[in-house]
């Protein structure tokens, strides 16, 4: 009988469902987790909420097979150490999304109508009606940064307030945005035009400190900022410097650590909650239900779709995931500012059976915020949420491409524009054999590469080299395939350093290039 340890306050549905299927379940939210794991060292399953799962806890459970996070975020679990120990880590994506979306609406209403302060005042016997003059949401403009599960649910919940909705998500297609009734906008436009701004972006190297003084100074006087995402995306000192002057309102539910004690951000919060986003009976029930169901499916059916730290499946060389990432990101760079609405893939040879494992690097190739180590199910959901169709084409292996792949990106509702690349692994190195219609490229993509596309003419390569030489940029390698049908040439110059954007503009103008961009890859 497998033992399941649940050292957290989780809806009893999970324990009951697992017990009914013959699992030995220990549900204990009161005993400290380190004591609990020592007393139940034979546990094979650990189901947690926000508890910190350290290497010490993992080592104290020698029979542990899987850790299930009853919720979406798993930053409190040492997933890398778990992988090292052969322990799978699963999450239950989407289980808490509606709870967080509703919390945002609740905070907006509470702050606009001074509900907390007015309650305290009235309970004291005061009658300060004029002091608590509020304002309405109806007809105002809200900007939502991040249009994933939570962002999309939020705009649906706000529909009854007849608000103008601006949205920022670099990966959402215009077609999906139109369907949802959101105006795709830049971050700057959102902070300039919105009466309310709600943050729903992940915290990573790209977004840490992204919400800063420059953006705060753009906000309307009296505008409200709501952060139910992650603490690290917002620069507290910058907000402190601007808040009083702009009379901004700030509602917050996230902190560097979920622990008791004074919060440094308290002085600038108009409303602050103890990370209550997922703290509803419904969210707890859904997370518990999914955690139990996924545990049963994991052991009884071998379903691992929600494993977030899964090692490569047997037979797949990890370099092919890197290749999928490079092909996608290079093709995306070739597209420029256009966002793809459809991705079509062709996997030749034995790669076809590993198609789903190549989806995460494809998603990461078009969105910097998507982590390469995410599960295939996360990647599929991410592409769906951003309005991108993913189609895996049937292939003709009689072409004898070997273990190769092609990845094509389409833009627009009519899918009339395409850019694509094909590549393989040669002598243990990544090799790009085609970019768009430039065949026989044979480019090893590691390092810094300048891509310049232009109408074929003599002397162009010399001009490009001359401009680079003027700035002491050394040329390591040059590739120069042609597309005879279109009369276009492509020069790919590998350089010892990245070429500055200003110099790329100069080269573009000097050779009348139709495309000119930098692509850098360091494995």
Question: What's the CATH number of domain 443-523, 2.40.170.20, 2.40.420.20, 3.30.70.260, 3.10.180.10?
Answer: 3.30.70.260
How confident is the model at residue 107, as a pLDDT? 98
CB burial class (10 A; 0-12, 13-18, 19+) of residue 388? buried
pLDDT, position 415: 64
- CATH 3.40.50.720 positions along the chain are 3-93+282-300, 97-272
As a whole number, the mean pLDDT across the chain is: 92
Which CATH fold would you assign to the domain 312-436?
A: 60s Ribosomal Protein L30; Chain: A; (3.30.1330)
Q: Which pLDDT value is given to residue 175? A: 82
Predicted pLDDT of residue 70: 94
Most confident of 63-77, 210-224, 398-412: 210-224
Rounded to whole angstroms, how far apart are CA atoms 399 and 385? 35
Query: Do the beta carbons of residue 464 and residue 511 sit within 8 Å?
Result: yes
> What's the pLDDT score for residue 257?
85
Mean pLDDT along residues 479-498:
94
CATH 3.30.1330.90 domain range(s) in the chain: 312-436
Summarize pLDDT for 324-364 with one digit per residue, the tens: 999 999 999 999 888 899 999 999 998 988 898 899 999 99
pLDDT one-digit tens code per residue, 106-162: 999 999 999 999 999 999 999 999 999 999 999 999 999 999 889 999 999 999 999
Among 60-69, 122-131, 150-159, 296-305, name the one with the lowest average pLDDT.
Answer: 296-305
- What CATH number has the domain spanning 97-272? 3.40.50.720
Range from 39-43, 376-380, 429-433, 517-521 carrying the lowest mean pLDDT: 376-380
Question: Are the CB atoms for 491 and 452 separated by under 8 Å?
Answer: yes
- What are the structure tokens assigned to 501, written together? 């954007």
pLDDT in tens, 86-103: 899 999 988 889 999 999
* pLDDT reading at 414 higher than 80: no
Residue 205 predicted with pLDDT over 80: no
Q: What is the mean pLDDT of residues 284-290?
A: 95
Whether the per-residue pLDDT at 413 is higher than 70: the answer is: no
Mean pLDDT of 375-401: 84
Which ranges constitute the DSSP H helices of 358-418? 359-366, 376-385
What's the whole-number mean pLDDT along residues 234-257?
95
**Residue 193 above 70 pLDDT?**
yes
Least Cα distance to 253 among 226, 216, 282 occurs for: 226
Percentage of residues in the chain with pLDDT exceeding 90? 76
Q: What is the pTM of this model?
A: 0.71
With 90 as the cut, is the pLDDT of residue 307 above it?
Answer: no
Average pLDDT over residues 431-439: 95
The CATH code of domain 3-93+282-300 reads 3.40.50.720
Edge-to-edge strand list for the sheet holding 196-199 = 183-184, 164-168, 141-145, 196-199, 224-227, 249-252, 271-272
Predicted confidence at residue 159, as pLDDT, reads 93
d(CA 257, CA 302): 35
Return d(Cα 129, Cα 144) in angstroms, integer.
32
What's the confidence (pLDDT) of residue 84?
A: 84
Confidence of residue 420 (pLDDT cuts 50, 70, 90): very high
Residue 405 parent element (H or E): strand 404-411
pLDDT of residue 311: 65
350 or 269, which is more confident: 269
Mean pLDDT of 270-287: 94
The string of pLDDT tens digits covering residues 456-482 is 999 999 999 999 999 999 999 999 999
Residue 268 pLDDT level (bands cut at 50, 70, 90): very high
Residue 443: what are its φ and ψ, rounded to 5°? -110, 125
């Amino acid at each position: 009988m497998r033992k399941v340890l649940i050292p957290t306050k989780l809806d009893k549905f999970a324990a009951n469902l697992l017990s009914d299927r013959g699992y030995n379940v220990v549900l204990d939210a009161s005993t400290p987790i380190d004591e609990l794991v020592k007393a139940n060292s034979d546990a094979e399953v650990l189901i947690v909420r926000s508890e910190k799962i350290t290497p010490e806890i993992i080592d104290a459970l020698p029979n542990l097979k899987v850790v299930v996070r009853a919720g979406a975020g798993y930053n409190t679990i040492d997933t890398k150490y778990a992988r090292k120990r052969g322990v799978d880590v699963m999450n239950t994506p989407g289980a808490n999304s509606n709870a967080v979306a509703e919390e945002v609406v609740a905070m907006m209403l509470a702050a606009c109508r001074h509900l907390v302060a007015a309650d305290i005042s009235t309970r004291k016997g005061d009658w300060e009606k004029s002091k608590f003059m509020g304002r309405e949401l109806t007809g105002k403009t809200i900007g939502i940064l991040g249009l994933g599960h939570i962002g999309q649910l939020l705009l649906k919940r706000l529909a009854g307030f007849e608000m103008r909705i601006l949205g920022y998500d670099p990966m959402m297609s215009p077609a999906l945005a139109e369907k949802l009734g959101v105006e795709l906008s830049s971050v700057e436009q959102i902070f300039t035009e919105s009466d309310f701004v709600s943050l729903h972006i992940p915290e990573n190297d790209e977004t840490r400190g992204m919400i800063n003084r420059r953006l705060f100074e753009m906000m309307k006087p009296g505008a409200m900022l709501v952060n139910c995402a992650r603490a690290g995306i917002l620069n507290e000192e910058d907000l402190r410097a601007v808040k009083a002057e702009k009379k901004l309102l700030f509602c917050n539910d996230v902190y560097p650590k979920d622990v008791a004690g004074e919060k440094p951000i308290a002085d600038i919060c108009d409303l602050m909650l103890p990370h209550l986003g997922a703290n509803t009976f419904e969210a707890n029930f859904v997370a518990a239900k999914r955690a139990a169901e996924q545990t049963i499916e994991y052991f009884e059916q071998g379903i691992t779709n929600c494993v977030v730290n899964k090692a490569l499946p047997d037979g797949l060389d990890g370099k092919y995931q890197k290749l999928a990432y490079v092909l996608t990101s290079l093709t995306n760079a070739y597209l420029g500012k256009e966002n793809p609405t459809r991705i079509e893939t062709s996997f030749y040879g034995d790669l076809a059976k590993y198609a789903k494992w190549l989806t995460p690097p494809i998603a990461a190739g078009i969105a910097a915020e998507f982590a390469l180590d995410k599960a295939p199910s996360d990647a599929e959901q991410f592409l769906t949420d951003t309005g991108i169709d993913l189609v895996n084409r049937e292939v003709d292996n009689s072409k004898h491409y070997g273990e190769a792949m092609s990845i094509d990106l389409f833009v627009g509702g009519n899918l009339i524009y395409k850019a694509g690349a094909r590549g393989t692994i040669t002598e243990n190195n990544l090799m790009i054999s085609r970019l768009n219609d430039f065949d026989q490229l044979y480019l090893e993509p590691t390092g810094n590469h300048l891509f310049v596309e232009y109408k074929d003419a003599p002397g162009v390569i010399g001009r490009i080299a001359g401009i680079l030489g003027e700035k002491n940029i050394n040329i390591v390698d040059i590739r120069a395939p042609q597309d005879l049908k279109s009369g276009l040439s492509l020069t790919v110059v590998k350089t010892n350093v990245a070429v500055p954007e200003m110099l790329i503009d100069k080269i573009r103008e000097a050779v009348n290039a139709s495309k000119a961009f930098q692509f850098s890859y360091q494995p």
